[in-house]
Amino acid sequence: MSETTRPSWLDNAVFYEIYPQSFKDSNGDGVGDFDGIISKLDYIKDLGCNAIWLNPCFKSPFGDAGYDVSDYYSAAPRYGTNEDLKRLFEESHKRGLHVLLDLVPGHTSVEHEWFKKSMSPEKNEFTDRYVWTDSVWEEPEGMGCIRGISDRDGSCAVNFFSHQPALNYGFYKPNRPWQQPTDAPGPIATREELKNIMRFWLSMGCDGFRVDMAGSLVKNDEDGKGTIALWQNIREFLDKEFPEAAMISEWGEPDKSLLGGFHMDFLLHFGPSHYNDLFRCAEPYFSERGRGDISEFVKKYLSLREKAGEKGLICIPSGNHDMDRLARSVGGESLKTAFAFLLSMPGAPFIYYGDEIGMRYVEGLDSVEGGYGRTGSRSPMQWDNTANAGFSAAPKEKLYIKQDDSKDRPTVESQAADKSSLYNEVKRLIALRSAHRALQSRGDIEFIYAEKSAYPLAYLRSAEGEKILVIINPSAQSADFSCALSPKEELYSLGGKISFNSGKITVPPQSAGFYLI
Ligand code: GLC
């Protein structure tokens, strides 16, 4: 395989994830939109982020909040037109921001024209666009299916919810007559159409894609070899036609995805990464309770880094639209220590909208658009202290999702005015990262102290001769460790002063410090 080209801006990328329905509503219908986002680009830039991941914004019946696409080539009218989206790219670029769209290659909505045509018993261009068995009585093993809704004699595999039929990229090891190999005409046509979709949006000005369920495409593909080969093919196309396009996968196994030519992969709440040990488990490491364990995460992280090689970025998100809000399990000052970690690790950090102000998970909501338990993490952004927290001029009952209506809900306005707020801490941390190569995406990392069930956490980041020691103690107890390194200069400190005493470093409760070595 040829060497993957990579856009240089990824070396210092800090991403901001925008859930378009919930970010900013410009026309008072209760749902966020492109113009709303455009009006807040200065906010994102001012926070220090230089890239955006926009959740799906294409035509859709919204049975899964837009992850059920019914037309890949058109923006969802509720957000605006393709022209508006193009303007969003342009306005972002004027501010030095890059925009990744969310590409959903694994499945469509049942309302997609392709699917409607594929349901026909007569053979046509779309007969092999999806994974169909050849009898309605045969279910595709290990996958859910849709059947009995058309005269085509077959069952169609689904990829996620049962209204999301699986697109056909073939089977790595076909073992039934209806299972096509990856190089059969149907799977190849699906893959080529995916390239057309990418071409369309990249030509319009988007800077790349976050790829949904990127590891799910080829079926019967236990080790991911077929799916990796598929992405390598797409990588060749990108290298040739759009070498500046940035690609990040929702895969959660960087050793596989980066081999497939992705530049970055997420660590996620599923998969083998131990990501949940950090913020989302019974005793998260980043908690004042101080009963967490980060050692398994670190072990796994180091082995993934080794397998992923030098070039690939492993991205640790603050959260996303599928997980509980960070602030649901990590509270108060510990949230600041969580960001001290997130913003000083290698890879590109991803901040889920609102996490920078500690937006809370809204408890007890009914599901909206296939959100179910995820709905509470998708509530509208809290901008200011006006009606609907400045999100929308619509009547409260018309908001896309109910907002956190507690009196002390965090807002950008109140946090910006408070020097000691989470928002200002996040801003400081991003600025520091931007000023030091060692803290950025590709700087090296060596863990100095990450012991089983122990605090604090310490690691050394380095790049181009610069070395920065990072020490973080999320717990409410003071903690110490032995370390021969002695700091030359303090770059950052949070909470009480960390003391260095002939090889013993004592770290006050809920504090952090970054030091030039
Ligand atoms: C991904 C998305 C999630 C969606 C699912 C199906 O995990 O992040 O929101 O429901 O894929 O597309």
Q: Do domains 3-105+186-433 and 107-168 have the same CATH topology?
A: no
**Ligand 1 neighbourhood includes 321 CB (under 6 angstroms):** yes
322 lines ligand 1 (CB under 6 A): yes
Mean pLDDT of 400-408: 96
- What is the per-residue pLDDT for 378? 98
Is residue 123 over pLDDT 90?
yes
Distance (Å) from CA 212 to ligand 1 centroid: 6
Q: Report the residue among 19, 58, 64, 320 best suited for mutation to probe ligand 1: largest number of ligand atoms under 8 A from its CB.
A: 64
The CA–CA distances, whole Å, from 191 to 112, 174, 184, 195 equal: 17, 18, 11, 7
- 95-106: average pLDDT: 98
Question: How far is Cα 479 from Cα 507, in angstroms, rounded to an integer?
Answer: 5
Cβ of 67 less than 6 Å from ligand 1: yes
For ligand 1, the distance from its centroid to the CA atom of residue 202, given in whole angstroms, is: 22
Q: How far is the CA of 213 from the centre of ligand 1 (A)?
A: 7
CB 324 within 8 A of CB 281: no
pLDDT band at 308 (very low <50, low <70, confident <90, very high): confident
Whole-number Å distance, alpha carbon 71 to ligand 1 midpoint, is 17
Do residues 239 and 182 lie in contact, with contact meaning Cβ atoms separated by under 8 Å?
A: no
Question: What is the average per-residue pLDDT within 506-516?
Answer: 98
Distance from the CA of 352 to the center of ligand 1, in angstroms?
15
Instruction: Give the per-residue pLDDT at 362.
Output: 98
Task: Using the mean position of ligand 1's atoms as its centre, give its distance from the Cα of residue 455 in Å.
Answer: 34
Taking the CA of residue 160 as reference, the ligand 1 atom at the shortest distance is: 6
Cα 477 to its chain centre, rounded Å, is 32
Any idea where the domains of the chain sit in the sequence? Answer: 3-105+186-433, 107-168, 445-516
Helices (H), 326-438: 326-329, 332-342, 412-416, 422-435
pLDDT tens digits along 483-497: 999 899 999 999 999
Distance 123 CA to ligand 1 centre (A): 31
Which atom of ligand 1 lies nearest, measured to the CA of 322? 9
Between the CA of 459 and the centroid of ligand 1 the distance, in Å, is 33
Average pLDDT over residues 315-325: 98
**Rounded distance from Cα 67 to ligand 1 centre (Å):** 6
- Bridge partners of residue 507, in order along the sequence: 479
With a 6 Å cutoff on the Cβ, whether 19 touches ligand 1 is: no
* Pocket probe mutation, ligand 1, options 213, 249, 251, 377, max atoms within 8 Å of Cβ: 213
Closest residue CA from atom 4 of ligand 1: 67
Q: How far is the CA of 65 from the centre of ligand 1 (A)?
A: 9
Instruction: Indicate whether 451 pLDDT > 50.
Output: yes
Ligand 1, from 322, 352, 367, 369: best to mutate by most atoms within 8 Å of Cβ?
322
Distance set, CA 23 to CA 27, 57, 92, 506 (Å): 13, 13, 16, 42
| Whether residue 2 has pLDDT greater than 80 | no
The number of C-alpha atoms within 13 Å of 410 and in the hemisphere containing its C-beta is: 22
What is the model's pLDDT at position 345? 98
Q: How confident is the model at residue 272 (pLDDT cuts 50, 70, 90)?
A: confident
**Does the Cβ of 352 fall within 6 Å of ligand 1?**
no
Strands 98-103 and 208-211: what pairing? parallel
pLDDT band at 1 (very low <50, low <70, confident <90, very high): very low
Q: Is the pLDDT of residue 132 over 70?
A: yes
The finding on whether 160 has its CB within 6 A of some atom of ligand 1 is yes
pLDDT at 129 exceeding the cut of 60: yes
- With a 6 A CB cut-off, is 104 part of the ligand 1 pocket? yes
**Domain range 107-168, its CATH number among 3.90.400.10, 3.40.190.10, 3.30.565.10, 3.40.50.720:** 3.90.400.10
The two three-digit tokens of residue 23, written as one number: 């970010």
How far apart, in whole angstroms, are the C-alpha atoms of residue 447 and residue 455?
13
Ligand 1 pocket test, candidate residues 212, 266, 270, 367, most atoms within 8 A of CB:
212
Give the tens place of pLDDT for each residue, 50-60.
999 999 999 99
**Ligand 1: which residue has its CA nearest to atom 9?**
322
One DSSP character per residue, 275-298 reads THHHHSSSS-SSSTT-----HHHH
Tell me the C-alpha distance between 129 and 126, whole Å: 5
Contact 271, 252 (CB under 8 A): yes
CATH architecture for segment(s) 445-516: Sandwich (2.60)
For ligand 1, atom 12, the nearest C-alpha belongs to 67
| Ligand 1 pocket, residue 213 CB under 6 Å | yes
Note the pLDDT of residue 3.
Answer: 64
434: phi > 0 → left, psi -120 to 50 → alpha, else beta; which? alpha
Q: Can you give the pTM of this predicted structure?
A: 0.98
Distance in angstroms (rounded) separating the CA atoms of residues 257 and 253: 6
The Cβ-side half-sphere exposure at 475, using a 13 Å CA radius, reads 19
Q: Which CATH class is domain 3-105+186-433?
A: alpha beta
Q: Is the CB of 161 under 6 A from ligand 1?
A: no
Mean pLDDT over the full length of the chain: 97
- Could you give the C-alpha distances from 390 to 24, 31, 365, 395, 428, in angstroms and in order? 8, 13, 21, 12, 25
**What pLDDT does residue 332 have?**
87
Distances (CA, A) of 268 to 251, 277, 324, 346: 8, 11, 12, 16
Q: Which of 389, 269, 366 is nearest to 22 (CA)?
A: 389
Instruction: Kindly give the pairing relationship between strand 155-157 and strand 58-59.
Output: unpaired
**Distance, CA 298 to ligand 1 centroid (Å)?**
27
Q: Determine the distance separating the centroid of ligand 1 and the alpha carbon of 56, expressed in angstroms.
A: 10
Cβ(69)–Cβ(112) under 8 Å? yes
Pocket flag, ligand 1, residue 64 (CB < 6 Å)? yes
